[in-house]
Amino acid sequence: MLCQNNKIELRLSVEADREGIKKVFESGKFDGDFCVRFLRNPDPAALFAHDGDKAVVMVMEYISTKEVIAVAGCVIRREYVHSQVIRIGYLTGLKILPEYQKKVYCITDGYKFLHENTKNDVDMYYTTILSSNTGAQKLLEKKHRNMPSYLYLGDYTTYCIKAGGIKDTALTGASAKELADLYCTELPKLDFAPFDTGLFGLHGKDFFTMRGKKGEIIASCAVYNQQAYKQYVVCGYSRKYKLLSKIPVQLLGYPGFPPENSTLNYAGIAFLYIRDGSPALGRRFLKAVAAQAGQYDLLLLGLFCNNPNNMLFKKYRHVKFQSRLYEVAWEEKKFSLENPIGLEVSLL
């Protein structure tokens, strides 16, 4: 598909685009209290598919130079919505080389191209935008002709907690059947929760549980290491956090601040289940899991604003950043909030 007076071509990515897409990813960063560059090395386009059943990756190529100047992806996966399994399209990775950001006027064409190449496989689309990215919010929340509507659903918080600590002997593993029985019951209660726990590279040994007096599972989660294909490079800090980065805040129970221009040694907390949403149980369980994960510097856990597990962080030391969750609708709005949202930070 050609646009901008036939100077730019929109097309699906191919293997030969690998280095060009890497360049686009490495050129971008997210500013805010934490300035972070998000990478998907060694092969960004191929690795999108690790977050779902399949992925469609679009590139913009400047025809005269054959240079990849922009990339965007749609990860397609099965998730629960209103306790039914539907096909979700997560729009992600929209990046443009800085030198072209004020020269490219193909955004509308790009959305049309991505929609045309995914609409037969997707029942509903959503995306997230960092709360600090006010420019993107102003651009996309305003209705534009021939563009999808960005319908704000609420805030999504990523909590960063310290890894390591004193191990809790109450922490146990669980059999595959026990985990299957638990999550077959619990996941359908959460909108945007994955259809099952079989995420790429996640195994039974990665799950931890805590049990009640009768041996029943009362808390469960997985520690999900994705560093082999998802990297966060800390580029810098705001004035407040730059000062804190010089202080050993780990001694106070907070996660440490890695040096600028270093790659984060992290893992995600996935599939968190706390019986009855008990904050006290949740805090004890997360501390026990963090102690088992001492090989990492910090753990990431994402929770939407209507998830009851947010309550446990009122008395749990953490650092956080926020995003805004949107339904992206080409036609009419399809989603209404009925259940807590169980969107996993590991899939963003």
Q: Which of 275, 345, 326 is nearest to 89 (CA)?
A: 326
Q: Which residue has the tokens 């305003």?
A: 142
Can you give the pLDDT at residue 129?
94
Can you give the pLDDT at residue 127?
97
What CATH number does domain 2-153 carry, 1.10.357.10, 3.40.630.30, 3.90.650.10, 1.10.530.10? 3.40.630.30
Which CATH code fits 159-347? 3.40.630
**How many Å apart are CA 95 and CA 58, to the nearest integer?**
11
Can you give the pLDDT at residue 240?
72
**How many Å apart are CA 271 and CA 254, to the nearest integer?**
23
Write the CA distances from 7 to 10, 67, 111, 185, integer angstroms: 10, 11, 18, 53
Alpha carbon 308 to chain centroid distance?
A: 19
3-state DSSP assignment of residue 179: helix
Contact between residue 233 and residue 262 where contact means Cβ atoms under 8 Å apart: yes
Alpha carbon 36 to chain centroid distance?
A: 14
Instruction: Please tell me if the domain spanning 2-153 has the same topology as the one spanning 159-347.
Output: yes
Q: Residue 151: which pLDDT band, with cuts at 50, 70 and 90? A: very high
Q: Residue 236: which pLDDT band, with cuts at 50, 70 and 90? A: confident
**pTM value?**
0.92
| Domain positions in the chain | 2-153, 159-347
Structure tokens at 317: 């030391």
Residues 6+ apart with CB under 8 A from 245: 237, 257, 259, 260
Q: Residue 238: which pLDDT band, with cuts at 50, 70 and 90? A: confident
Q: Is the pLDDT of residue 74 over 90?
A: yes
Q: What is the mean pLDDT of the chain?
A: 92
Structure tokens at 33: 């209290």
Residues 6+ apart with CB under 8 A from 208: 171, 172, 173, 220, 221, 222, 223, 288, 289, 292
**How many Å apart are CA 64 and CA 2, to the nearest integer?**
13
| DSSP label of 341 | B
Q: Which of 102, 96, 100 is nearest to 58 (CA)?
A: 96
Give the amino acid at 115: H
- DSSP code per residue over 91-127: EEEEEE-GGGTTT---HHHHHHHHHHTTGGG-SEEEE
Structure tokens at 138: 């102003």
Half-sphere exposure of 122 (CA within 13 A, CB side): 25
Residues 6+ apart with CB under 8 A from 227: 263, 265, 266, 267
Can you give the pLDDT at residue 322?
93
- What residues does 87 pair with on adjacent strands? 78
Q: Residue 258: which pLDDT band, with cuts at 50, 70 and 90? A: confident
